[in-house]
Structure 1
Amino acid sequence: MSDGNLDSIISRSIEQVGAAYGVKMMQGYLRSKGFMVGRYRVQASLRRVNPEYHERRRNDTVRQTNPIPYYAAYHGDKLHVDQNEKLVRFGVTEVVFSDGYSRQIIDYIILPIKNPIQIYGKFRDILLNHGIWNTLRSDHGTEFCLTGFIQNKLKNYRTDTRKQAYTQTRSLENLRAERKWPEINQRVNYPVKNALIDLQRLQVIDMSDEMHRFCVSFVTTIIVEEGVKLVISSWNSHPLEGIVSRIPDDLARRTNRVARLLQDGVPTMQEAITEYEATGGNLTRTSYFGRDPLAGNNTLIDQRERRFLAEIEPPPRIFGQLVNGNITPFRHAIVSFINATIEIQIVN
């Protein structure tokens, strides 16, 4: 591949993911798209295509070393579940599951608000599709109560039953499994948050209005998910910091010792809820942010969604425009959803 062709590919990639991707994350993104390009060629191309941002990244001090000793023996030893609340005031909370050894991001869910039942639903998918890790680690938030409860219930099926099945630690210890968050923040959350603050300043959105809160949360979740998917595919394919020629997806395949489970052995959502509450536990049922005036009427909700999708650009394009400084398509999407909600409510 010539330098000109590589520059063209990277230029188009920046249109999709924004300019915040450094050498290794861009190399991971290209790898996830089937382009195997060496680190130094990617570095040189980024310097040619976007010299100003390349220089800013060279001077970036966001990366920190981990002062806490950390050890995971293999993929399947420690599963981390943690959350990001950078966009919580706009009705978006990200929850990510990742392996402590390979650092592969296993799965994620984006929620309007923290909800233990929905988080368990994603954990159940992981148990069914991958299996059970030796140790599940979360912070001290109560939203992980149901997930931790089921991890303990199934602890005898783990690869190494000598280890603690569920542990809670502070989320400020900079465990290496948490280092994905600066990447997600820089490439997704901060650009989206800045756009939303601008829309507030321009009085396009009113976060004191319950209907606006719902609409902003709904649309922002769709756009954020586009960015998170891009970061995850790039992260899982990028060379790890300090581990030469090691890539999360490759490490996961080579060292996988996750214990497989039979489907019948994994509690359904309702079974998990019933068992947990039988022990005296309480679960938050609320899963919405703001108020949807069309709630409970699936016909009107479907009508609104069809109209909304017909009026906006494809979400991947909206995200690409947003992270490259053009928030107009994002603004149009939010306004379109608000207007559709109001007009359908009035007509019906």
Structure 2
Amino acid sequence: MALEQHEGMIRQLKEEGKTYDEISNKLLAEGVIRGASVANLQGKGTCGQQVGKGVPGGATKCCVGCHWRAKHTSLQLIIICSLKVGPMYGRKTMKGYLATKGIRACHMRVGAAMQAVRPHYHEGRQRGARNLNPVPYRAEYFGEKLHMDQNEKLVMFGVTHAMAIDGYSGKLVGHSTMPVKNNLVIYEEVYRKAVLGHGLWDQVRTDRGREFYLCQYVQEKLAGQRYCTARPSFLQTPSTLNHRIERLWSEVNTRVNFPIKACLQSLTDQGAINMEDDVVKFCTSQLACQVASVGLTRFVEAWNQHSVPGRGIPDSLASGGCPVKVTPSMVPCAAVAADLYDAERGSSLTRHSPFGRDPFVSVEERALAQGRFMALHGDLNAMFNSVVNENNGPFSDALLDLIRIST
């Protein structure tokens, strides 16, 4: 039932001196659910009609119906966004996500609206603990340090993320989702994309994993071109010391990985999928990577538009890019860079890292199966929207159909 249909009753109750709590309870008793919260009944509108007394500064408050109409669109947009990103986006990250859609709103207003329309999500965030970095960090300018790392929370289902973040601005400048961590994929989709898009960083910082060898190799080749050559071109440290990127994985896990993992683990526990079967492993990895990539892309866009206390918005801080720009000829594609690495270092990088066994023996067979699957489940965005909001049905059904089509 629409709130404006009860505008007359609301105005009458207010004229009788009823409080917003009493009006809200009356609406609920009448069966009005949407829009009956106290937060939605309060505030200013546009018609200027007086419905309350003692308003500071002589300002007037309009009729509740007018106020509801003024705020209805924004609340609906936030509801739609919450269905796309799930319960773990707070007011500032949600504000960043709204900004990517061209919607500008105060984070306090966004928070109040989120609390009103998704109270159980709000309560869940209030109970959750945040992992904060206890070690002070400082970078002097955009392009001083590039932090890279990988996430393997879904490695048992064939999903691995890699991301890169600028130390000064906090902007996520590159990301990729792949079945198994691979030097060539991380180099091409994370490091090379970041360097071509923003310029050459003075230092790349990673953990001691071998999956960053190609990135480090090319970074070393370009060492003489850097803005500041006083520091090493790359630095390998334990993961516990690479805080600038490590602390973000808890955000990605709650917003992307854990909902998908819960669904896949449930299917495994029920015996619906057998992760010992190589074809099942392949199908699970292929679909899970695509769905997880939707969530990771949304997170990166929202993160780069959210406001960092005391700093600003990452996208704004990164607007000028690195001091040194490069051309594509200076940063070869992954295949060429890997050939150079193999020839110079005398060792061979893994070109392809499969997860499970590809059941398709030809391009035509693969295209046919893909067409059949897309006819049944063509919207990966809707699939992620569902699973992140604890509705596992669409994702589960799609995975089981993919396995059936592929075997």
Do the two structures share a fold, i.e. TM-score over 0.5? yes
| Alignment partner, residue 372 of structure 2 | 307
Structure 2 residue 266 is the aligned partner of structure 1 residue 198: yes
How far does residue 77 in structure 1 lie from its aligned partner after superposition? 0.9
| Alignment partner, residue 139 of structure 2 | 72
Distance in 2 of aligned mates of 1:208 and 1:39? 47
SS of equivalent residue, structure 1 residue 236? helix
Structure 2 residue 186 is the aligned partner of structure 1 residue 119: yes
Distance in 2 of aligned mates of 1:127 and 1:54? 38
- Would the aligned equivalents of 1:139 and 1:168 in 2 still touch at CA under 8 Å? yes
SS of equivalent residue, structure 1 residue 71? coil
Distance 1:65 1:2, change over 3 A: farther
Structure 2 residue 324 is the aligned partner of structure 1 residue 259: yes
Q: 1:56 aligns with which of 116, 124, 141?
A: 124
| Alignment partner, residue 316 of structure 2 | 250
Structure 2 residue 227 is the aligned partner of structure 1 residue 227: no
How far does residue 231 in structure 1 lie from its aligned partner after superposition? 0.6
- Would the aligned equivalents of 1:66 and 1:175 in 2 still touch at CA under 8 Å? no
- Would the aligned equivalents of 2:255 and 2:388 in 1 still touch at CA under 8 Å? yes
- Would the aligned equivalents of 2:147 and 2:244 in 1 still touch at CA under 8 Å? no
Q: What TM-score do the two structures reach when normalised by structure 2?
A: 0.79
Q: Percent identity?
A: 36
Higher mean C-alpha deviation, range 40-49 or range 280-289? 280-289
Q: 1:102 aligns with which of 164, 169, 173?
A: 169
Distance 1:115 1:65, change over 3 A: closer
Q: What TM-score do the two structures reach when normalised by structure 1?
A: 0.92
Distance in 1 of aligned mates of 2:326 and 2:162? 23
Q: Where does the alignment leave 5 or more consecutive residues of structure 2 unmatched?
A: 1-68
SS of equivalent residue, structure 1 residue 30? helix
* Letter in structure 2 aligned against 1:331: S
Distance in 2 of aligned mates of 1:6 and 1:125? 35
Structure 2 residue 231 is the aligned partner of structure 1 residue 163: yes
How far does residue 258 in structure 1 lie from its aligned partner after superposition? 4.2
Q: 1:285 aligns with which of 332, 351, 376?
A: 351
Higher mean C-alpha deviation, range 3-12 or range 72-81? 3-12
Distance 1:20 1:268, change over 3 A: closer
Q: 1:145 aligns with which of 208, 213, 216?
A: 213
Structure 2 residue 254 is the aligned partner of structure 1 residue 182: no
| Alignment partner, residue 213 of structure 1 | 281
* Letter in structure 1 aligned against 2:120: E
| Alignment partner, residue 36 of structure 1 | 104
SS of equivalent residue, structure 2 residue 74? helix
* RMSD between superposed Cα atoms in Å: 1.6
Q: Where does the alignment leave 5 or more consecutive residues of structure 1 unmatched?
A: 343-348
* Letter in structure 2 aligned against 1:126: A
Q: 1:236 aligns with which of 296, 300, 304?
A: 304
Distance 1:140 1:97, change over 3 A: same
Higher mean C-alpha deviation, range 117-126 or range 181-190? 117-126
**Deviation string, structure 1 residues 20-73 (Cα, Å, up to 9, x no partner):** 111111111111111110011011111101122212322321232323x42211
